[in-house]
Structure 1
Amino acid sequence: MPVHMTIDELKSAARTLRKFLAESGAAQLTHAQSLEAVAHTAGFRDWNSCSAALLAPRPLAAVPILRVYDEVATRNFYCDYLGFEVDFEHRFAADLPLYMRVTRGGVHLDLSQHHGDGTPGAAVWLPTVDIAAFHRELRRRDHLVTLRPGIDRSAPGGPTVELLDPFQNALRFCELDD
């Protein structure tokens, strides 16, 4: 199971778990026991396996840059509709184009208003764990434009939900075939 947290973040989660259980009177855990519980939750057999996996060298990860034009439409689509969170925003000055990174489930997308960053009409393939749950989530959300995406079960690679953002970039959320 891929974990998109650092060791420090998992240790913090273990401290939070320990404190919560103690304050609620449910259990008194040692720090080592809370680390083991967090490791199991992350899909590892124990804390040593978890920390070894997180410290192992990782392959380079590409972050696509998608061209966007309208900040309000960008936030509405990527954050409000798709559920991405803003990692950072940058402008060289208040009246200059926006560059921001959004993240969801360990997937990063850079969205840029800068001329030359990305090409309108790009396609990005996004691996997704449970496409049916993702599809239900989208169907529950309101959006300025009523989008009613379906699941293409004949797409190469696995079941896919494809959406066009307001700038004609194609986002292909795909659950891998086993």
Structure 2
Amino acid sequence: MNVTITDAKLAARVLRSDLARDGVAISHSAALELVAHQLGHRDWNTASAALADSRGLRGAVPVLRVQDERLAREFYVDHLGFRVEWEHRFEPGLPLYTRVSRDETVLDLSEHHGDGTPGSVVWVPVGDVRALHRELTARRHPRLRPGVDHDAPGGPTLEVIDPFGNVLRFCETSD
């Protein structure tokens, strides 16, 4: 069986979840390291390079500028249902750089001046935009009441704007 990087990341999430259920808390990065070792690699970076498809580009990760960590977490984690994969600060009190993901969508959020431009647009393909709309409507947000534009180019689209002016367009494509 050929293990892909997606398989390895899923294994890390399952490992972390199973351990948490047994009262053992580990970070996502620690789970990735453990999976890398199980696959016979020295560390996650080595495993990631070995498992990557070297024939072409890998998925791009948009960097969105955020100015307030608390608001970013409330929006991306609490409202949209993303989970934090990892966080980085050069030292306490300095700006946050974090990666969030949900299913196959990965976003980097940065408080660093010069990273990203407020007002950026990210187009995100989804399998069922109406189901996502129902989910977000059930998890009410004080500033948002988005609807689905059924006539949008590309397919039915749900557009949400984060507290920093960045636009996420969730589009259900017809293919």
TM over 0.5: yes
Letter in 2 for 1:76: E
Aligned to 1:62: 60
Unmatched segments (≥5 aa) in structure 2: 15-50
Q: Measure how far apart 1:154 and its partner are.
A: 0.7
Mapping for residues 7-26 of structure 1, pairs under 5 Å: 9=10
If you compute each CA radius of gyration, which structure gives the higher value, 1 or 2? Answer: 1
Partner residue, 2:110: 112
Which residue of the partner structure matches residue 160 of structure 1?
Answer: 157
Describe the SS at the equivalent of 2:133: helix
CA distance, structure 2, for counterparts of residue 60 and residue 9 of structure 1:
17
State the alpha-carbon separation in 2 of the partners of residues 82 and 55 from structure 1: 28
CA distance in 2, matches of 1:7, 1:99: 23
Cα deviation code 1:131-171 (max 9, x no counterpart): 0110000010032x242110001111000000110000010
Q: Deviations over 1:101-140 (max 9, x none)?
A: 0000111000000000000100000010110110000010
| Residues 127 and 9 of structure 1: CA distance in aligned 2, closer, same or farther (over 3 Å) | closer
For 1:90, the equivalent position in structure 2 comes to 88
1:59-106 deviations in Å (ceiling 9; x for gaps): 421100000001110000000000000000000011100000000011
Asked if the contact 1:161/1:172 (under 8 Å) is kept, the reply is yes
In 1, distance between residues paired with 2:91 and 2:64? 21
Q: CA RMSD in A?
A: 2.3
- Contact 2:5-2:52 within 8 A present in 1 as well: no
Match of 1:73 among 71, 74, 77: 71
3-state SS of 2:127 partner = coil
Correspondence for 1:103 = 101
| Unaligned segments of structure 1, at least 5 residues | 14-53
SS at match of 1:132: helix
Q: Which residue of 2 aligns with 1:28?
A: none
TM-score by length of 1: 0.69
Q: What does residue 6 of structure 2 align with?
A: 5
